[in-house]
Amino acid sequence: MTLDRRSFLKLVGAGAGAAGAVSLPMIGQAAELMPKSGKRVVVIGGGYGGTIAAKYIRMMDKSIEVVMIERNDHFVSCPFSNLYIGGIMTDLNALTIKYDKLAANHGVKVVQAEVTAIDPAAKSVTTSKGTISYDRLVVSPGIDFRLDEMKGYDTAAMEKMPHAWKAGPQTILLRKQLVDMKDGGTVVMTVPLAPYRCPPGPYERASMIAHYLKANKPKSKIVVLDAKPDITSKGGLFKKGWKDNYEGIIDYRPAKKVTEVDAKAMAVMVEGLEEVKGDVINVIPPQRAGQIAVAAGLVGDDKNWCPVDATTFESTKQKGIHVIGDACIAGAMPKSGYSANSEAKICAMNVVALINGKETTELSGINVCYSYITDKDAVSVAGVYTVKEGKIIAVPNSGGVSPADFSAAKTEALYAESWLKNILTEMST
């Protein structure tokens, strides 16, 4: 007997009425998008972490099928987006990657879709295009915002007061607002409490905005309202850089936690006490792991970030799911693109081992983060990481920041460009 759709629904409806809702969960469940035959790893996110996890798993073991799910058909890098905002780069082309070569060179199956749910028991993810099952799942969704801690900052407000903390249209909007601003205007930037994506990022951005104002709108200034009591990353270097280059342009105000915005009045509120107005306002809100990680129950007691094993990056909340990049708690490794890259490779190696029932390998990782102070000067922070007693720590007596006298800053600006080229090439070829 063949059933058409109409009579099938009738039948199920009658059944449900008679015998309860037992069979109902089947209804509305999306179809399996790509039936799984052999070993399969699904990767959520095609950014700094996801692309590298997908590529390296395939480099290490071609017998594992890798499906990378990303909502966009391209990715725009946050690293160097501050240079675009400062007018040093004229477009975002050099910061944009596509995924075709990951597919062609490594056989990564790229699916453009939104992941809406993860079912750890069934080992499957639900996407806007259908469900995809996995043996192991790697989650690298980056960040989303804790909007409940920034009153008034909704989607509409973001169009007036861009965050530009995910690169793309928001970055272009902030740049446009700076260009359109009258000379003599005030730019306001808000910085959240740590942890957030890219600890030195706000200060690099303030430098780049000041660089633009100095050359193009010399009567203007930028007010930085920092929730933290001080600049915690490369603090000495930023302060010296600002003193040498942007005296009177950058007005840095520590311990000013912005909790509310008024997009109509173009004002922000510091803990309900003090109102600060701006002609251009860049709100960097408090952050947490990407929404999908929260929805899947991967966040820990803080409800914001995902605790993981320090060897495999397997979630301590859900078996078979690994979390890397900004979303995870990686001990001493900061939330940076370089960390995400390094974590992805560590995770990839151990995912391959676990799938094949082999011994795992202890972590060894690196983070380096370059920040531009002017168009020709950059400073860096570097770290080498290892594991001690189950925690990721910096190797003692290694790493650190650039020389305090800026003696290497011109050379580092040249190396930083090659760093970007290399890391984006890693992600896209």
Partner 1 sequence: MIMKWRGWALATGVLAVSAMAQAAPPTAAMLSNACAGCHGTNGGSAGPTMPSLAGQSKEAIEVAMKKFKSGERPGTIMGRLAKGYSEAEVTAMAELFSKQKLHITTQTLDKAKIAKGASLQESNCGRCHIEDGKEGKDDTPAMASQWLPYMQMQMADYLSGKRKMPEKMKEKVDPMSKEDIEALLHFYASVK
Ligand X SMILES: Cc1cc2nc3c(=O)[nH]c(=O)nc-3n(C[C@H](O)[C@H](O)[C@H](O)COP(=O)(O)OP(=O)(O)OC[C@H]3O[C@@H](n4cnc5c(N)ncnc54)[C@H](O)[C@@H]3O)c2cc1C
| Interface ranges with partner 1 (CB under 8 A) | 56, 309, 311-312, 338, 341-342, 345-346, 349-350, 359-366, 368, 380, 382-384, 386, 390, 395, 397-400, 402, 408, 411-412, 414-415, 417-423, 425-426, 429
Mask 30-69, x = binds ligand X (CB under 6 A)?
--------------xxxxxxx------------------x
Q: Does 419 bind ligand HEC (CB under 6 A)?
A: yes
Nearest to 204 by CA among 337, 48, 341, 383: 337
Out of 399, 415, 417, 426, which residue is the one contacting ligand HEC (CB under 6 A)? 415
Beta-ladder partners of 323: 139
Quickly count: other Cβ atoms within 10 Å of residue 181's Cβ: 19
SS3 237: helix
Residue with tokens 């957030």: 196
In 10 A of CB 114, how many CB atoms? 13
Quote the crossing angle between the two packed helices 235-245 and 201-216, to the nearest 10°.
0
| Peptide linkage before 195 cis (omega within 30 of 0) | yes
Closest CA to 101 of 429, 406, 346, 323: 429
The token pair at 249 is: 């342009």
Site string for ligand HEC, 339-368 (x = CB under 6 A): ---------------------------x-x
Residue 165 or 269 with smaller CB distance to ligand X: 165
Q: Is 401 in the site for ligand HEC (CB under 6 A)?
A: no
We find the least distance from the C-beta atom of residue 229 to ligand X, in angstroms, to be 22
335 in contact with ligand X (CB under 6 A) = yes
Restricted to residues 170-199, the positions that interact with ligand X (CB under 6 A) are: 197-198
Q: Least distance from C-beta 20 to ligand X, angstroms?
A: 33
Q: What letters, b where the CB count within 10 A reaches 16 and e where it falls short, cover 389-423?
A: eeebebeeeebebbeeebeebeebbeebeebbeeb
Closest to ligand HEC by CB, 368 or 379: 368
Which listed option, ligand HEC, partner 1, ligand X, none, makes contact with residue 72 (CB within 5 to 8 Å by class)?
ligand X
Give the interface with ligand X as residue ranges (CB under 6 A): 44-50, 69-72, 75, 78-79, 81-82, 114-115, 140-142, 165, 197-198, 201, 205, 290, 292, 325-327, 335-338, 340, 369-370
